[in-house]
Structures are given as structure tokens and as C-alpha cells.
Structure 1
Amino acid sequence: MPEFMFAYHGGKMPETPEEGAKVMAAWEAWYKDLGESVVHPGNPVGMSKTVSAGGIADDGGSNPLSGFTIVKADSIEAACKMAAACPMVADGSGTAEVAPIVEM
């Protein structure tokens, strides 16, 4: 079955421990709903550096990556449906790019 990467942009860090617990519960429930489709639940990521032929930029680019997940799905359309239920996508605080992982 093909694998897909969800690359997250946006979202926000919880401001209180209670908010953090609520956010974690939402993510855990989503992962549970995805079941065995989850290949790697991923993690949030810190600020990235953009490396190009011209040098290294420390600002994370125009739309910094905030995390990732890897899933398996029958099609990119099915993977997009999974990503639409992601807590930060569903609450409008972020977006998810869905890309097929190409076997080499």
C-alpha cells in the first residue's frame, strides 16, 4: 500500500498545561481513528533552516514546517481525507500538505 507524508504548517503551541492535555487528547484520538494506517506518527518540529546554493537562511522559509506524520492509504485522495481530520486542520489553526512517498 502506498505511503504518504503529511507535512504540517501552522498550528500553535498550547498556552497552559490544561490546553496541552486537550490538544494531546485530540491528536491521540485522531491517531486511534487512523489505526494501522499510521506508519510513523511523527512529531512537531522546531524552526528549520533553509539551505540553498546561495547559503543558509535561519527563518524557516515563507511557510515553516511545524510537524509531520507518515501514513499508508490506497490513494492520495484517501490520504487527503485522513489529513482533513487532523486536529490542527479541523480546527483551522494549520494546514497539511499530502505527498506520496516515492519508492526508489
Structure 2
Amino acid sequence: MPKYVFAYHGGKKPESPEQGEKVMAAWNDWYGGMGNAVVDGGGPCGMSQTVSNSGVAQNGGANPVSGLTQVEAPDMDAAVAMAKGCPILSDGGSVEVAEVLQM
């Protein structure tokens, strides 16, 4: 079955431990609903650096990644449908869905 990467952009850091618990519960519920489709739950990402031929930019990149997950789905439409339930969407973030191509 094809694999897909969910790259998260944006979202908000919880402002209190209680809010953090609610956020984690939402993510755990979402992962639980996807069951065995979750190949790698990944996690949040820190500030990125962009490496190119002209050097290293320490500015987080053009569209900083705030986290990632890898899932299995029959096709892109099914992967997108799973991504639509992501808790980051309610925090103003977005999910980029990309198929992992077999080489």
C-alpha cells in the first residue's frame, strides 16, 4: 500500500499544561482513529535550517515544517481524507500531503 507524509505547517503551542493535555488527547484520538494506517507517528519539529549551494540559512525556511507523520493509504484521496481530521487544522495550521514514491 502506498505511503504518504503529512507535513504540518503552523499551529499554536499550548499556553498551559492543561491546554497541552487537551491538545495531546486530540492528537492521540486522531491517531487512534487511523489505527494501523499510521506507519510512523513522527512528532513536532523545531526550527529548521535550509542548506543550499550558497550556504545555510537559519531562518526556518520559506514554509517551516512544524511536524510530520507517515501513513499508509490506498490512494491520495484517502490520505487527504485522513489529513482532514488533523487537530492542527483547528489551531490555524495546515497539512501538506505527499506520496512517498517507490524507487
> 1:21-45: per-residue Cα shift (whole Å, max 9, x none)?
0000000000000001000011000
Ranges in structure 1 where 5+ consecutive residues have no aligned partner: none
Question: After TM superposition, where is structure 1 displaced by more than 4 Å over at least 4 residues in a row?
Answer: none
Aligned residues: 103
Query: Normalising by structure 2, what TM-score?
Result: 0.97
1:8 alignment partner, SS class: strand
Matched residue, 2:52 = 52
Work out the CA distance in 1 between the residues paired with 2:47 and 2:91.
21
Q: Report deviation, 1:92.
A: 4.7
Q: What is the one-letter code of the residue matched to 1:51?
A: V
What CA distance in whole angstroms lies between the structure 1 residues aligned with 2:49 and 2:27? 27
Match for residue 6 of structure 1?
Answer: 6
Give the CA RMSD over aligned residues. Answer: 0.8
For the residue of structure 2 that corresponds to 1:31, the secondary structure is helix
Work out the percentage of aligned pairs sharing the same amino acid. 53
The CA deviation string for residues 52-83 of structure 1, in whole angstroms up to 9 with x for no partner, is 11110001112100000000000001000100
Report the TM-score, using the length of structure 1 for normalisation. Answer: 0.96
Question: What's the offset of the Cα at 1:4?
Answer: 0.2
